Amino acid sequence: MALQTLSSPALAAARSEFTGGRGYLAACTVGLPTRATRAAVIAELDAAAAGRPDPSAASAAVERSRALFARLVGVESRSVAIGSQVSVAVALVAASLPHGAEVLVAEGDFSSVVLPFVHAGRSLRVRAVPLADLAGSVGATTALVAFSLVQSATGEVADADAIVSAAAAHGARTLCDATQAVGWLPVEASRFDALVCHTYKWLCAPRGVSFLTLSDDLAREVPPLFAGWYAGGDPWSSCYGGDVELAPDVTRFDASPAWQAFVGAAPALALFASLDGHAVHEHATGLAAAFRLRLGLGRPDRASAIVTWADPDGAALSRLADAGIVASGRAGRARVAFHVFNDEEDVELAASALGR
């Protein structure tokens, strides 16, 4: 059934927004720019080179991007802060925890989700357990569970329902990194106390655009450590001195935006916000399932758009590269990803390159 969505007009139109894609199975590493993103960035650079930079238009692109991301994850814009790095957003949440608090993380999770707690300077106790044991390991001393919804190294999809339920039962908060999820997996940010996401992978935006969502309750406890001029209620009147009134909502955690990146992000986010997220999920996981079948890999507990398998010597990755296929290797595993710009031909090309 999943592969039937390939013929849907909306997904076919979305695929036409990309000039490349054939043989590109690395959206989990970096997404491909859309035609509109490329055009917007080039136009902005050309205008600046001609002596006509437009900061106001760039700021408008920031707000469009914020609103579009909010729509993608089902929250209001006031609950979304902008940034450029996931680790900085995670560090803000780490700074809200009391000294000695326990933070529960998944073994082998992406470092940007873990290191801010390890080096928070607040004597936080970071406890790592296997992803499958995360929910069952939440206890009375756990202050926060921090995890990636989709694991970068393995493509495993976390059991968010179980984790959120266990955290609630023990009075713990949750921080979810959705960088490897938003764009192919429907995500509801309001389920988590905090959600972080960089958009340069599955949302196909330029690198330098990230988002942080916070519940109202947690937002009251997070210190605006990185407050700058963009953290004011009106950034353009918050440029000087320390007597600045910060924004009354989550936007007070805004970092000064990388303008050109947001100019390119707005059209990419608009594309994904216009799509049926469940159809994209069926498409991407359907292709991944077909590839897993060709390779004789077992079915995962929860469908993923990322397929990985043991490749300690890099032989599989080399065979894919020799066939002109762009894939990636992580933690001794070969890794391929299927996105809106891929179709059944990409499954066939990759499987054939591996002799399957």
Residue 119 sits in a domain whose CATH number is: 3.40.640.10
47 occurs within a structural domain = no
**What residues contact 164, with CB distance under 8 A and at least 6 apart?**
174, 191, 192
According to the model, what pLDDT value does residue 7 have? 55
Are residues 146 and 96 part of one domain?
yes
Is 195 found in the same domain as 108? yes
**Do 259 and 324 fall into the same domain?**
no
Q: Answer yes or no: are the C-beta atoms of 201 and 27 closer than 8 Å.
A: yes
**The overall pTM is greater than 0.85:** yes
The answer on 312 and 253 residing in a single domain is: no
- Residue 8's pLDDT is 78
Lowest mean pLDDT among 61-65, 175-179, 240-244, 255-259: 240-244
- Tokens standing for residue 309: 């398998």
pLDDT in tens, 23-79: 999 999 999 999 999 999 999 999 999 999 999 999 999 999 999 999 999 999 999
Phi, psi at 226, each rounded to 5°? -105, 25
